């Protein structure tokens, strides 16, 4: 049964296992070939080099061009396409000699700047009170409206650039502050809308008293009737978003923050000890009853307008952290939906990203005090992080118009005070090289289409900085550069592989050549004639009764044959092994040719023969030549002296005989057809190849010895570098 199972296993499974092993080995080899391909390996240096390219190959260059002090003049620079010709004009607003506010306007193609003076000075917090550009008379040229302050009063001034005249000078707007105390405020444009159907848009703007507390209201200026309309004063600061209703009417949604700055006897309603949602119609009357959210430090953010629904989120910044929720109301102020959010504190920043004609609402928030961004989906009322929000930098973002078709962001880092520009969906980051704490009101941008550049102006309390934003000249050619780097990398990878392959092939060739030489030398030791002569010598010793001598000869012969056969595949061996082999050979030959020659082997004490490597049979072959040729025809007994010593960072081997000399031995070889005389030639070729293969420099010197002009033998010196 076991035999049948074994037979079945061998017949059925072993072929499949064999095929699997072959497939596995083939796959392994192919995978190695693929991974070692220069086209694949070149990707690694290409990626590294490309990541280290200088700013020359960035898409944009962002450099500081100008820095101007503005501490006294409160200079602000604005860019606006005044005459709607597609090119933005520069308007500088400042305090002229600290006497009155003015503006400088320089038309294109003109070297002159026009100055227009206004009543009063720029407000104390000029960065928070930006001018308004509006073509109120529909003549194709925008007018400039500048709000100025004198003592506790706010005034409106206007310039008509088409006629180069000041058309409003010191038009009283409102009183600032209570009888005593601060006189600070924030002024923001809201929208232009023709509420009375007189053909001219009214200009809606927001007035928020800071520590001054008064005014906190929304106003609009009726240009045709030269009068203001106003909402009631409230005790809360407004953050206003204009909305068009289903009937195309204007609805102003205002949210507030409960800062609790109003005293108990504050004369106006809707104090800031609660947060509120207000709705105002185009006449600045309440569109619905204000919605209250009790508690100090509560804040209402929004609205996010989605399908005629107004979405808000409420945050309690000092109370229970999980008391945060989102809700929606309609344009009548009626609550539609409400959903509580835990663990996320949403901030007041709302960003809108458009992708495939669909808006994505991104809100700023924090989890465990870490700044994050979340996408809010109004239809589901969910707050979540995704691939869109995870790509945003960990800083508060301020949107700005890069040009007519593109939108960018400036990111402010509250920890370092530094800022960056983010362009092309955050794929490009450009750092400011000055220490700025930026807000959205500091930031202005202009595109000069003729120069393909933008001027980016930012301000702090003391300086106005002008940055130039340009596209890098070489950026369109970066792919050619990357292809060039890749091809160079392929070359750098391929060339060493080619050289390495060439070295390996050359080494294999040399290995084959030296192996062939070794085989020739080994075959000469295993020559039948030599073997028969050696065995006949042993037999003769036995017949003569010289058993011990015969035993010694047979031992040397077997040692000689064993070394010749067992080490035939080696290029080299130790000097000790070479000397032992040579001694065995000489002993064998001495026994064969009794009284023909004697030999001595002397090794210096400092020479470590086990560590010195030498080509196989090199010394033995020279010794064999001495026995066969040098002692052939001499009258006296031959003497071969083999000495090994250490000299000049090398090992020197000397073989010295008292034979007939090199020239006479050469003549004898030429006369005897049975003697090839190739031994020394093989040795020279062996050393030449060996030196190439092992990068060494073994040298041979053959010296004819003379005594009073009579040949006295031959000396061979072999020098092996350490």
Domain CATH code at residue 521:
3.30.565.10
pLDDT at 268 over 80: yes
Percent of the chain scored above 90 by pLDDT? 22
Over residues 462-474, the pLDDT tens digits come to 787 888 888 777 7
Q: How do 335-341 and 444-448 pair as beta strands? A: unpaired
**13 or 106, higher pLDDT:** 106
Answer for the pair 704, 661: CB distance below 8 angstroms, yes or no. yes
| Per-residue model confidence (pLDDT) at position 472 | 77
| Per-residue model confidence (pLDDT) at position 487 | 85
**Residue 675 falls inside a structural domain:** yes
Mean pLDDT of the region 632-656? 88
**Residue 52 falls inside a structural domain:** no
pLDDT at 719 over 70: yes
| Per-residue model confidence (pLDDT) at position 318 | 66
Edge-to-edge strand list for the sheet holding 143-150 = 132-134, 143-150, 153-160, 165-175
Phi, psi of 201 (to 5 degrees): -70, 140
| Per-residue model confidence (pLDDT) at position 12 | 61
Over residues 148-189, the pLDDT tens digits come to 999 899 999 999 999 999 999 999 999 998 877 788 888 889
Task: Grade residue 655 by pLDDT with cuts at 50, 70 and 90.
Answer: very high
Q: Which of 378, 618, 401, 400 is nearest to 517 (CA)?
A: 618
CA-to-CA distance for 490 and 37, rounded, in angstroms? Answer: 9
**264 or 127, higher pLDDT:** 264
* Domain boundaries, position 627: 502-721
Over residues 572-591, the pLDDT tens digits come to 888 998 898 888 888 888 87
**196 or 512, higher pLDDT:** 196
Mean pLDDT score of the chain: 80
| Per-residue model confidence (pLDDT) at position 670 | 65
DSSP helix/strand/coil, 49: helix
pLDDT at 231 over 90: yes
**Residue 362 falls inside a structural domain:** no
Percent of the chain scored above 70 by pLDDT? 77
Q: Which of 97, 38, 152 is nearest to 500 (CA)?
A: 38
pTM of the model: 0.60
Q: For the chain, how many structural domains are there in total? A: 1
E-state strands within 34-121: 60-69, 76-80, 89-96, 100-105, 114-117
pLDDT at 567 over 90: no
Task: Grade residue 555 by pLDDT with cuts at 50, 70 and 90.
Answer: confident
**Residue 133 falls inside a structural domain:** no
**Residue 508 falls inside a structural domain:** yes
Q: Which residues pair with 174 in a beta bridge?
A: 154
pLDDT at 695 over 80: yes
CA-to-CA distance for 259 and 265, rounded, in angstroms? Answer: 16
| Per-residue model confidence (pLDDT) at position 520 | 58
pLDDT at 527 over 60: no
**Residue 426 falls inside a structural domain:** no
**716 or 688, higher pLDDT:** 716
**Residue 424 falls inside a structural domain:** no
**Residue 570 falls inside a structural domain:** yes
Answer for the pair 119, 169: CB distance below 8 angstroms, yes or no. yes
Mean pLDDT of the region 265-270? 92
Task: Grade residue 413 by pLDDT with cuts at 50, 70 and 90.
Answer: low
- Tell me whether residue 479 is exposed, middle or buried, using C-beta atoms within 10 angstroms of its C-beta: 0 to 12, 13 to 18, 19 or more: exposed
């Amino acid at each position: 049964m076991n035999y049948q199972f074994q037979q079945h296993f061998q017949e059925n499974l072993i072929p499949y296992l064999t095929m699997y092993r072959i497939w596995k080995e083939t796959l392994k080899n192919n995978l190695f070939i693929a991974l070692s391909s220069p086209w694949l390996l070149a990707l690694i240096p290409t990626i590294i080099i490309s990541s280290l390219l200088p700013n020359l190959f960035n898409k944009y260059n962002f450099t500081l061009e100008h820095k101007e002090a503005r501490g006294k003049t409160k200079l602000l620079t604005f860019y606006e396409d005044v005459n709607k010709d597609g090119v933005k004009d520069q308007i500088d607003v400042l305090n002229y000699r600290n006497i009155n506010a003015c503006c400088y306007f320089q038309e294109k193609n003109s070297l002159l700047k026009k100055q227009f003076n206004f009543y009063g000075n720029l407000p104390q917090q000029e960065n928070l009170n930006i001018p308004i550009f509006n073509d109120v008379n529909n003549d194709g040229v925008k007018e400039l409206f500048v709000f100025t302050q004198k003592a506790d009063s706010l005034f409106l001034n206007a310039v008509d650039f088409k006629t180069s005249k000041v058309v409003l000078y010191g038009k009283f707007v409102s009183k600032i502050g209570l009888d005593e105390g601060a006189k600070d405020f924030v002024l923001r444009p809201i929208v232009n809308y023709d509420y009375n159907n007189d053909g001219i848009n009214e200009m809606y703007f927001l007035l928020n008293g800071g520590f001054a507390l008064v005014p906190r209201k929304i106003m609009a200026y009726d240009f045709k009737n030269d009068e203001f309309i106003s909402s009631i004063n409230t005790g809360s600061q407004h953050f206003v978003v204009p909305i068009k209703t289903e009937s195309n009417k204007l609805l102003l949604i205002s949210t507030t923050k409960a800062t609790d700055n109003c005293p108990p006897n504050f004369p106006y309603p809707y104090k800031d000890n609660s947060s509120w949602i207000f709705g105002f119609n185009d006449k600045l009357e309440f569109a619905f009853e204000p919605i209250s959210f009790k508690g100090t430090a509560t804040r209402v953010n929004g609205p996010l307008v989605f399908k005629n629904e107004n979405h808000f989120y409420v945050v309690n910044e000092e109370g229970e952290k999980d008391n945060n929720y989102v809700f929606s109301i309609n344009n009548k102020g009626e609550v539609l939906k409400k959903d509580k959010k835990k663990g996320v504190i949403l901030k007041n920043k709302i960003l809108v990203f458009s992708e495939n004609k669909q808006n994505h609402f991104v809100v700023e928030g924090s989890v465990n005090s870490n700044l994050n961004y979340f996408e809010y989906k109004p239809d589901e009322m969910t707050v979540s992080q995704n691939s869109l929000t995870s790509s945003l930098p960990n800083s508060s973002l301020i949107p700005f118009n890069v040009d007519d078709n593109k939108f960018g962001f400036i990111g402010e880092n509250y920890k370092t005070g530094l800022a960056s520009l983010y362009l092309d969906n955050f794929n490009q980051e450009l750092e400011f090289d000055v220490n700025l704490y930026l807000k959205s009101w500091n930031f202005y941008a202009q595109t000069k289409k003729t120069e393909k550049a933008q001027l980016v102006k930012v301000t702090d309390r003391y300086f106005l900085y002008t940055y130039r934003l340009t596209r890098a000249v070489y950026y369109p050619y970066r792919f050619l550069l990357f292809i060039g780097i890749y091809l160079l990398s392929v070359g750098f990878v391929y060339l060493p592989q080619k050289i390495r392959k060439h070295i390996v092939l050359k080494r294999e060739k040399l290995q084959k050549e030296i192996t062939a030489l070794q085989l020739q030398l080994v075959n000469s030791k295993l020559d039948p004639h030599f073997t028969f002569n050696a065995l006949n010598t042993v037999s003769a010793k036995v017949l003569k009764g010289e058993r011990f001598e015969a035993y010694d000869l047979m031992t040397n012969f077997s040692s000689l044959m064993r070394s010749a056969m067992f080490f035939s595949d080696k290029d080299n061996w130790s000097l000790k092994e070479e000397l032992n082999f040579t001694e065995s050979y000489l002993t064998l030959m001495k026994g064969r040719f009794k009284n023909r020659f004697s030999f001595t082997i002397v090794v210096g004490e400092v020479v470590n023969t086990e560590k010195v490597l030498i080509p196989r049979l090199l010394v033995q072959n020279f010794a064999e030549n001495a026995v066969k040729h040098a002692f052939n025809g001499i009258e006296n007994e031959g003497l071969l002296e083999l000495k090994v010593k250490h000299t000049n960072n090398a090992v020197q081997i000397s073989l010295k005989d008292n034979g007939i000399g090199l020239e006479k031995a050469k003549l004898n070889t030429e006369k005897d057809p049975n003697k090839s005389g190739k031994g020394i030639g093989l040795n020279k070729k062996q050393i030449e190849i060996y030196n190439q293969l092992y990068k060494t420099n073994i040298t041979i010197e053959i010296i004819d010895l003379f005594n009073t002009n009579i040949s006295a033998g031959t000396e061979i010196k072999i020098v092996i570098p350490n």
